[in-house]
Structure 1
Amino acid sequence: MNIQTVEFRRCFAWLGAGWYAFKSNLGAWLALSIVFLLAVMLLGMLPFIGIPLIMLFVPLLLTGLLVTAHKSLTGSLAQVEDILLGFNDERFRQPLLLLGGAMVVGTLFLLVMFYPLSWELLKASYLPGSDTQANAVLLEVAETSPLGLLLQLGMAGVILMAFFYATPLLVFEGLEPLDAIMTSLQACLKNAVPLGLFAIMVVGLAILAAFAFGLGYLVLIPVLTGASYASFRDVFDPVENANPPQEHRGQARVIGE
């Protein structure tokens, strides 16, 4: 796998590509964003098991969004049913579920690592009437063990990097879940500066999108998906044939072979 090292300025081009992808298939993107948000919200409402279920199914949902980004940036017409591609295509389903299972393990590891702060946050999310002290716990950890907190944040960053490119690597390049995870981590470490700046911009945009009752996420989801796909193309420089994944995978390896 050819991993490129890109300049830090490329992160601005990624966001520009994401905006272009959103404008080129506006109707389909809005419908896809609504379906994605509803799925995440409904799963998230399930007490305590909601977060693991979201992590399990996120790769399957992301597949549809990434395919839409691919079509939008290559001049093809996106369709609303693309959101279900990860569920409907047998070539994708099992490997994506395995990847989702790995995400569940990573999430549980983070919850255990950040205990008791994670427990306070879970109580605030699922038991709104309970007495939560998340801020107090965070301040206490920061004061008593700042080095430990930095190590925990570093480990969380490593886990996020391991999964950032895992789904597109599996879908577009036909890698096995474990290979996709390791390759994603390697690529993110090699491009820590542009991706770090990209992450900072994403956080800022997410805060802005939270205004107006969160309707900004209907725009943010398509833009960030398109930007992430553009960064994937930049970093990995996949095969030049830019067909939809079903055809593109014939250039690489069909999942399940």
Structure 2
Amino acid sequence: MNLRTVPAREGLQWALLGIRTFWRQPLAMSGLFFLFMAVISLVSMVPVIGGALALVLLPGLTAGIMAATQKASEGQFPMPAILWSAFKNPLQRQPMLVLGGLYTVGLLLLMAASVLADGGDFAKVYLGGASVSPELVNSDAFQAALWMTMLLYVPLSMLFWHAPALVYWQQIEPVKSLFFSWMACWRNKAAFTVYTLAWVVVFASSGLIALLVASLLGDAQMLMAVLMPLALMVTAMFFTSMLFTVKACFSASTSDQNLA
């Protein structure tokens, strides 16, 4: 496995490959993403430990989406069971759960840092322990905690962006996978900036399309009816594109178990 540095324009290509691959198997990729969301939501409902358990499973389920993307890119129909593929092999299960545990710790530390800005209101809302009100959301302290969390999440996401794929396909130890993921994101920060901007444009465009449809129909209630499924579909495309960022940042291998 060799770390690669790619030009900034590659970021746009990653987004386009994700969209193109999604439409090769739209039913499968949409269904798998909805299943992904359903599993996370159901696990989160488990009393006391549900939120933490969902975070622990998140990297492994993300690897499952990447495995499904690989199948779709090859013209195959990924079956629902592929979502759990990272947990089926005992040799992969423990490292993937360790990676999930590290992600959980990182996110909880991030929430703890936000307490410094608003005394914990944002953390309670994010973790599902408090209701949201317009007064709370518009408060200066809550907004400060929100922006602090968004800024701190950038380095956290850099650590974990490639890690699920590296643990799953390359059998790299969880802690080492975080290092390689960070280095890949840092060395290709220009491409990731373009990639992020491309998806901002796609998401914003989907919102404008939903608004236009609602306006043409003359029914304001149609806005959410159109926006929600459209946003979920675009998010599924975004998840489909993640594999191509990994494949571009790390050299391909001819092994069936490696990125190809």
Same fold (TM over 0.5): yes
1:63-82 superposed matches below 5 A: 63-82=63-82
Which stretch of structure 1 is more off in the superposition, 214-223 or 29-38? Answer: 214-223
1:220 pairs with 2:234: yes
Number of aligned residue pairs: give it.
239
Work out the CA distance in 1 between the residues paired with 2:41 and 2:227. 14
CA deviation string 1:66-108 (max 9, x = no partner): 1111111233332121112123222321111000000011001
- Judged with a 3 Å threshold, the aligned counterparts in structure 2 of structure 1 residues 42 and 131 are, in CA distance, closer, same or farther, namely same
Asked if residue 183 in structure 1 is aligned to residue 180 in structure 2, the reply is: yes
Task: Name which of 138, 151, 156 aligns with 1:159.
Answer: 156
1:226 maps to a residue whose letter is T
Equivalent position amino acid for 1:113 in 2: A
1:170, CA displacement in angstroms?
1.0
Aligned equivalent of 1:135, options 135, 138, 144: 138
Aligned to 1:8: 8
Greater CA deviation, 215-224 or 229-238?
A: 215-224
- Corresponding residue for residue 62 of structure 2: 62
Secondary structure, aligned partner of 2:138: helix
The Cα of 1:10 is off from its aligned counterpart by 1.1
Offset at residue 194 of structure 1 (A): 1.4
CA distance in 2, matches of 1:141, 1:228: 30
Aligned-residue offset at 1:237: 1.7
* 1:255 alignment partner in structure 2: none
Match of 1:235 among 242, 249, 253: 249
Counterpart CA distance in 1 for 2:62 and 2:76 is 18
**Distance between the aligned counterparts of 2:119 and 2:56, measured in 1?**
19
CA distance in structure 2 between the partners assigned to 1:239 and 1:134 by the alignment: 48
Q: Which amino acid aligns with 2:121?
A: E
The one-letter code of the counterpart of 1:120 is D
Cα displacement (A) at 1:189: 0.7
Q: Offset at 1:18? A: 0.8
Alignment correspondent of 2:23: 23
Preserved contact between residue 59 and residue 99 of structure 2 (Cα < 8 Å) = yes
In 2: Cα distance, 1:13 partner to 1:50 partner: 37
Offset of residue 188 of structure 1: 0.5
1:167-178 equivalence runs, <5 A? 167-178=164-175
Q: CA deviation at 1:50?
A: 4.3
% same residue: 22
Aligned counterparts of 1:85 and 1:68: Cα–Cα separation in 2? 9
Give ranges in structure 2 of 5+ residues lacking alignment. Answer: 211-223
Further displaced range: 108-117 or 128-137? 128-137
The question of whether the paired residues in 1 share the 8 Å contact of 2:118 and 2:142 is answered with no
What whole-Å deviation, never above 9, does each CA across 1:199-245 have from its counterpart, x for those lacking one? 2443454564795363235423432233111111111122144x4x4
Aligned match for 1:202, one of 199, 204, 223: 199
Note the C-alpha offset of 1:180: 0.5
Task: Output the aligned Cα RMSD.
Answer: 3.0
Structure 2 counterpart of 1:98? 98
Q: 1-side partners of 2:134 and 2:232: how far apart?
A: 33
The residue number in structure 1 matching 2:219 is none
Q: 1:164 to 1:117 in 2, by over 3 A?
A: farther
User: TM-score if structure 1 supplies the norm length?
Assistant: 0.79
Give the conservation status (yes or no) of the 8 Å contact 2:18–2:241: yes
Secondary structure of residue in 2 paired with 1:6:
coil
Q: Which residue of 1 aligns with 2:109?
A: 109
Amino acid at match of 1:236: F
Partners in 2 of 1:69 and 1:118 — Cα distance? Answer: 41
Q: Could you say which residue in structure 2 is the equivalent of 1:119?
A: 120
Supply the distance in 2 between the matched residues of 1:85 and 1:8 (Cα, whole angstroms).
Answer: 32
8 A Cα contact 1:120 1:134, kept in partner: no
What corresponds to 2:39 in structure 1? 39
Residue 102 of structure 2 aligns to a residue whose secondary structure is helix
CA change 1:48–1:122 in 2 (3 A) is farther
